[in-house]
Amino acid sequence: GESGKSTFLKQMRIIHGIKFENDLIREYQQVIYQNLVKGMKVLADAREKLGIPWGDNNNVDLGRELFQLDHGLVLSPVRFNHYSSLLSRLWQDSGIRRAFDRRREFQLSDSVEYFFNNLERIARPDYIPTNKDILHCRKATKGITEFVIPINNIPFLFVDVGGQRSQRQKWFQCFDSVTSILFLVSSSEFDQVLLEDRITNRLEESKNIFDAIVNNIIFGNVSIILFLNKFDLLERKVGNPETDIRWYFPQFTGNSHSMQDVQKFILSMFTGVKRNPKKPLYHHFTTAVDTENIKVVFNSVKDTILHRNLEILMLE
């Protein structure tokens, strides 16, 4: 989960001019409010568990008030505005910020920082989510979502599947007539563990799933395109002296603060599991929340998919 699959699908809509319906925008607005409330609860809980004191003791009561809030609650813009000052005060607390700096030690959505940095705008009573907000908003994909996007008058059917362990048994039933698989990996998660068991390294888990797909006989004629996503977050981590890929992957021999070395290592982790040397594997480093980046990457991917379709038609 959280590799950016649904974000990529949202980008496909934006890039190809398919507007989000008003009902969907309202739904995303709720998800954004919930992302903020839940994100702060996770941070406040982590602050306590990590033994980090509040920066301001006056925030003890605000912390208690926060935990009385139901983050699944439907909030009107006016009601959310009422809670926004509480969230803003807590976000400015040095104890919360110290917990945030240690976020790899617990499960926190990548978009929390973006939303808190935009809290003042989001808290306005007339707030309507922008495309950028919608791209950042996080809701776990349950089951299978299909979406058809006409590209150059050719209908592309995108099938988005939930990435959590509980969702994976549903995958193979929708892989019947697939011509291409876009496999997204969160490349920045080399220092994080799974939500499901809190032990397994997220990058290792992604590699194991990729292994099962790239070497599966069912996909012998399917083109596989690997998106090593969240390049922006990977860049931040590689530049951060407080984390080091060697702590999690001792087999890494390069310069742990060189973007080129880390990219090469992560890519080789995935290309190294492919058993059939003749099977082509395409790859791109991507930032799914960056529309311009995805536009460029998808132009290249589109040609691969169309070329593959043509080959299949000629074989029939």
3 marked ligand binding residue: yes
The CATH fold assigned to 175-315 is: Rossmann fold (3.40.50)
CATH 3.40.50.300 residue ranges in the chain?
Answer: 175-315
**pLDDT tens readout for residues 203-216:** 999 999 999 889 98
- The CA distance from 58 to 18, in Å, is 47
Are 16 and 55 in contact by the 8 Å Cβ rule? The answer is: no
Are 195 and 1 in contact by the 8 Å Cβ rule? The answer is: yes
Active site residue 286: no
- The CA distance from 75 to 81, in Å, is 9
Homologous superfamily in CATH for domain 22-136:
GI Alpha 1, domain 2-like (1.10.400.10)
Active site residue 2: yes
286 marked ligand binding residue: no
Q: What is the mean pLDDT of residues 118-124?
A: 97
Give me 295's structure tokens.
């536009």
Active site residue 179: no
Bridge partner list, 161: 144
Residue 32, helix vs strand vs coil: helix
Is the pLDDT assigned to residue 312 strictly greater than 80?
Answer: no
Active site residue 196: no
Q: Find the catalytic residue in 93, 133, 160, 189.
A: 160
Q: What is the rounded average pLDDT for all residues in the chain?
A: 90
Per the confidence metrics, is the pTM higher than 0.75?
Answer: yes
CATH 1.10.400.10 residue ranges in the chain?
Answer: 22-136
111 marked ligand binding residue: yes
- The CA distance from 151 to 16, in Å, is 7
Is the pLDDT assigned to residue 111 strictly greater than 90?
Answer: yes
